[in-house]
Amino acid sequence: KAGVTQTPRYLIKTRGQQVTLSCSPISGHRSVSWYQQTPGQGLQFLFEYFSETQRNKGNFPGRFSGRQFSNSRSEMNVSTLELGDSALYLCASSPDHFTQFFGPGTRLTVL
Amino acid sequence: AQSVSQHNHHVILSEAASLELGCNYSYGGTVNLFWYVQYPGQHLQLLLKYFSGDPLVKGIKGFEAEFIKSKFSFNLRKPSVQWSDTAEYFCAVRTNGGSQGNLIFGKGTKLSVKP
């Protein structure tokens, strides 16, 4: 089975712009979660989607949003980018809400 | 709020040395426990997991971890490390049982193995 794929792998944006990141889960996995990884804060949970519904949300401002499509693919959007949003954004899919399999991440740099 | 603590930020060992990485969590209810590894330039990979049953869990590549409920700990061990074990190791906890699937991660421990 192919693993979790994320596009793009690298992205450079400027402050104030918005960005959309994409994640394709492992085939058959209906749960998709997003995490932000930074050197200072480590890995922090953003949100989880299952069957196109947001089931859980982390402690991030409303500028961070996401959605899931009927084929389980997910996107996350960050509006009005800030320098502090520079991070590695990880997507994880799960067949059962328990064990999560991670993708390679999208490295976002905000200038 | 729930949290996960990994005691060591950076551990340096010689090949064949034994490894133990500490992980403690703060949550009094039912937990699922995980160790993930991130090799240089690669994505997070699951090493092992504990859901219930035998508190000694064996994972891939010779790693094992022991869940000690009374100590809220889930330490990772390997009897003899190899240079290829150089990586960053993350302990993670899933709380709240039921349908919520988010993981709470520790800050990670970088392991450097000298050949």
Confidence of residue B96 (pLDDT cuts 50, 70, 90): low
Give the tokens for residue B28. 């009094």
Contact B90, B36 (CB under 8 A): yes
Half-sphere exposure of A14 (CA within 13 A, CB side): 0
Q: Which residue has the tokens 């990994």?
A: B6
Secondary structure letter of residue A85 according to DSSP: G
Chain B residues with beta carbon closer than 8 angstroms to that of A35: 103, 105
Confidence of residue B27 (pLDDT cuts 50, 70, 90): confident
Task: Indicate yes or no: CB of A102 within 8 angstroms of CB of B45.
Answer: yes
For residue range B65-91, list pLDDT tens digits in order.
999 999 999 999 999 999 999 999 999
Chain A residues with beta carbon closer than 8 angstroms to that of B51: 98
Confidence of residue B28 (pLDDT cuts 50, 70, 90): confident
Chain B CB within 8 Å of residue A100 CB: yes
Residue-level pLDDT at A96: 81
Distance CA A90, CA A105 (A): 4
DSSP characters over B60-108: GGG-EEEEEGGGTEEEEEESS--GGG-EEEEEEEE-S-TT----EE---
Chain A CB within 8 Å of residue B5 CB: no
For residue range A68-89, list pLDDT tens digits in order.
999 999 999 999 999 999 999 9
Sign, CA dihedral B20-B23-B28-B30, equals negative
Residues (pLDDT < 70) of chain A are none
Residue-level pLDDT at B22: 96
- Burial of residue B11, with CB atoms counted within 10 A of its CB: 0-12 exposed, 13-18 middle, 19 or more buried: middle
Residue-level pLDDT at B100: 57
The pairing of beta strand A53-57 with beta strand A5-7 = unpaired
